[in-house]
Amino acid sequence: MSRNTAQREAIRTVIESAGRPLSPQEVLDAAQADVPGLGIATVYRALSAGVDEGWLQPVELTTGPTRYEPAHLSHHHHFRCNACDRVFDLEGCPGNLKKMLPPGFELDDHDIVLHGRCADCATTPGG
C-alpha cells in the first residue's frame, strides 16, 4: 500500500498542474519549491510508481528524456519547441496511418511529434 508523503504529493501536484508533459528534471526543479531536500532518485521512483498505479503515463519523444503527464488525457500528440525545449500537448490526429504499412505489418500504436517554435518563442525576435 502506497503512502501519502510530502514528496509524492508535491510531485503529483506539479504534474497535474503543469498542463504539459514534464521531464524528471523539470519535475524535480518544480517540486523542490515545496520539498527543498528532494532528490532525483525519489522523482524517478515516484514517476515509476505513478505509471504502475495508472494515474501517470510516459510520453516518449524523438528528442530528449521521457516526459510524464496525467493518464486521464484522451488520445493526442505532442509538440516540442526547438527554442525552449518544452513539450506541449496537441489536439487531433491525422488517422488512417495503416495505409503507410508495408504488407504483413501489424499496427499497434503510433507517435507523432511536431517540432518548431512555440507561441512564446515564435514572437521572441532574437531567440
Interface residues with DNA (CB under 7 A) are 1-8, 23-25, 35, 37-42, 44-46, 48-49, 65-66
The separation between CA 75 and the C-alpha centre of its own chain, rounded to angstroms, equals 13
* Among DNA, a copy of itself, none, partner that 20 touches (CB below 5 to 8 angstroms by kind): none
C-alpha cell at 73: 488525457
* Among a copy of itself, DNA, none, partner that 127 touches (CB below 5 to 8 angstroms by kind): none
* Among DNA, a copy of itself, none, partner that 13 touches (CB below 5 to 8 angstroms by kind): none
CB 51 within 8 Å of CB 33: no
Instruction: Estimate the crossing angle of helix 6-18 against helix 24-31, to 10 degrees.
Output: 110
Q: Which residue, chain included where needed, has cell 520539498?
A: 35
Nearest CB to a copy of itself, comparing residues 15 and 61: 61
Nearest CB to DNA, comparing residues 36 and 104: 36
Q: Which residue, chain included where needed, has cell 514534464?
A: 22
